[in-house]
Amino acid sequence: MNNQHRRESQNIHVMDDYMQQFQSYKPWYESRRRHPLINEITYRRIKRLLDISLCLITLPFVLPILGLCCLAIKLDSCGPLFFLQERTGKGGRRFKMYKLRTMIANAESLKAEYMHLNELSYPDFKIREDPRITTVGSFLRKTSLDELPQIFNVLKGEMSWIGPRPTSFSAQTYSLWHTTRLDIVPGITGLWQILGRNELDFDKRLRLDIAYLRHQCLWLDIRILIRTIGCIFNGKGAN
């Protein structure tokens, strides 16, 4: 009987240890210092300085690539080279986000026609094999080259390199808890870009945005940027 009690006691301790380890587990993006080395205002200023610096460093390389992409778009299909779309930024303000055109010229007017094929919950819209995407556009999306013009949004202060992805629909469609993402400047890439990209619906992306907001720091930004480069090369989540 004593041996049985002893074994039961050992099992309880093992389960307690397991539960403590399980509860203490946190995703890599939540491993932030309890006491940050710099305050939030200083962090935002440094981040803005890094945004501008990275733009100026990459511009000499980005501009020739943009030129080649524009040439390919022009040869592939009729229509403008760039696609300007209203997006929701910090504080719910709307701004024009720049992208290379990857669809046929009248893609927006055809959206309602293909709404029944939407794979995500409203107000998101995504079709895995979207018939509106051009041949060159498919390559640009897979390599994320269509996002390159957003470097100019970053220079204008409308976006950052790292942050929640700005939505095409306005903040008026948000639920109350969604508005938390409007507290910071949107970014070219962020957590959901590297942890699921187009496979996640809006609510799941929002949870990642909130996680970033709670744990944002320069080290997390650097890790997201490095992981984004890896996602670009393996085409993860691209569509």
Closest C-alpha among 99, 100, 111, 103 to residue 135:
103
Per the structure, the complete domain to which residue 74 belongs is given by: 33-234
The distance from CA 131 to its chain's CA centroid, rounded to whole angstroms, is: 24
Report the residue count for the chain.
Answer: 239
Q: For residue 67, tell me if it sits in a domain.
A: yes
Q: Does some domain include residue 4?
A: no
In a domain, 22, yes or no: no
The answer to whether residue 107 is domain-embedded is yes
| 27, part of any domain | no
Per the domain annotation, does 213 fall within a domain?
yes
Question: What is the pLDDT at residue 117?
Answer: 75
- pLDDT in the model for residue 110: 81
Burial level of 19, CB count in 10 A (0-12/13-18/19+)? exposed
> How much is the pLDDT for 8?
46
CA distances to 135, 201, 202 from 175, rounded to whole Å, are 37, 14, 11
Whether 167 maps to a domain, the answer reads: yes
Count structural domains, the chain: 1
97 domain-assigned: yes
pLDDT tens per residue across all 239 residues of the chain: 555 555 444 444 444 444 444 445 577 777 655 556 788 889 999 999 999 999 999 999 999 999 999 999 999 999 999 999 999 999 999 999 999 999 998 887 787 777 777 766 666 677 778 889 999 999 999 898 999 999 999 999 999 999 999 988 888 888 888 888 899 999 999 998 888 666 677 788 888 898 999 889 999 999 999 998 888 777 654 55
The pLDDT of residue 175 is 81
